[in-house]
Structure 1
Amino acid sequence: MTGISTRMPGEVVFSFVLVILSLVIFWQAYSISGFSSISSPGSLPLAASAIMVMSACFSFVKTLKKPLENHTLFFTHVLPPIVSIILAFILIYSVVLEKLGFIVSTFTFLVISIQFLYRKHFLITLGLALISLITVYVVFRLIFQVILPEGIVPEREIIAAIRNLFS
């Protein structure tokens, strides 16, 4: 049973990373304008980040004092296989995104991920992936006009042809 008196795997590393990130934030707050007076523009961010540094250090020391829980393995607890597999999918997606383009790579990523996680009928997976892709594409490409990687699908020509039909 996990209690407050024991330390979980990865907790020390996480606490240490919090200390480092807090120090980086403190440095960034100091670089806003230094600390020339209590009413300077950087005083509030500096005070907030100083509290972050102190809290992170307190948490780190408290974590170091706890005994490690014996029966829990790091990768089983922190990085289970399902998370590792999804991370691998995301890595592959990010590598092929520029080459294949947003539409092909995102649709493929969604189909594989949804099928892996949802494990229902493949037609349902295809439908969910298609609806998700269309929604994201309409919102980001057409409404917000975000430039997405084109890849192997000639998006500009397709959009131009659709606009010509309605004009």
Structure 2
Amino acid sequence: MKNQKTRRPGEVVFNAVLFAFSLFIFWQAYGISGFSSLSSAGTFPLAMSGIMIVTAASVLFRSMRLSVPQGGFAAFRREVLPPVVLIFSLFILAYSMAMKSLGFLAASFVFLLASIWFLERGRFSRALLLSIVSIVGVYIVFRLIFQVVLPEGIIPERAIAAAIGDFLKGGAKP
């Protein structure tokens, strides 16, 4: 890394949040079993979160010593919150809101299709193929193999899973 003389927009705030998160993780790790012995369940999480605190503090203090960047909020918005990040954040918000009513399969398919289409800049056939392959793969791994119950919504997943299970067992018995 080159010898940086000015900090990047938002760098101090990000590093402060990272430091606060490290403190929170340390507190959570201490809650596991305190520090009763070196072989207790909380020892490793305490050690790792302690390392996080030291490194986050070091990075925070180093960034605070650098000079303030030029450009103010415009530079922050350009470098930290470009339009693609804002649009994708809206996609994620819409996905989380649609999950309950549409269910996992439909909401995830629409989210993936819209996201890939947006990121691929209009290559709809590729977005459609990747979305279908991804949803089928996730469904097989999580719903059929690990038997994770996913929000059902408008697609009758239980009926689909039962039909696939019957098919794999050699067909339904009369």
TM over 0.5: yes
Q: Closer, same or farther in 2 for the Cα pair 1:162/1:138, shift >3 Å?
A: closer
Secondary structure of 1:17's counterpart equals helix
Please say if residues 10 and 78 of structure 1, whose CA atoms lie closer than 8 Å, have aligned partners that are also in contact. yes
CA–CA distance in structure 1, aligned partners of residues 45 and 123 of structure 2: 52
Q: Closer, same or farther in 2 for the Cα pair 1:49/1:123, shift >3 Å?
A: closer
Structure 1: tracts of 5 or more residues without a match: none
Alignment counterpart, residue 160 of structure 2, candidates 150, 158, 161: 158
User: By how many angstroms is 1:81 displaced?
Assistant: 0.7
Identity of aligned residues (%): 50
Residues 1:19 and 2:19 aligned together: yes
TM-score, scaled to structure 2: 0.81
User: By how many angstroms is 1:49 displaced?
Assistant: 3.2
User: By how many angstroms is 1:97 displaced?
Assistant: 0.7
Corresponding residue of 1:86: 88
Aligned length: 165
Moved more, 106-115 or 157-166: 157-166
User: What is the RMSD of the two structures over their aligned residues, measured on CA atoms?
Assistant: 2.3
Please say if residues 110 and 129 of structure 1, whose CA atoms lie closer than 8 Å, have aligned partners that are also in contact. yes
Please say if residues 6 and 69 of structure 1, whose CA atoms lie closer than 8 Å, have aligned partners that are also in contact. yes
Please say if residues 104 and 152 of structure 2, whose CA atoms lie closer than 8 Å, have aligned partners that are also in contact. yes
Please say if residues 33 and 40 of structure 1, whose CA atoms lie closer than 8 Å, have aligned partners that are also in contact. no
Q: 2:26 is matched by which residue type in structure 1?
A: F
CA–CA distance in structure 2, aligned partners of residues 22 and 155 of structure 1: 40
Q: Give deviations 1:78-112, integer Å, cap 9, x for gaps.
A: 12110111111011001111111112111111111
Corresponding residue of 1:10: 10
Structure 2: tracts of 5 or more residues without a match: none
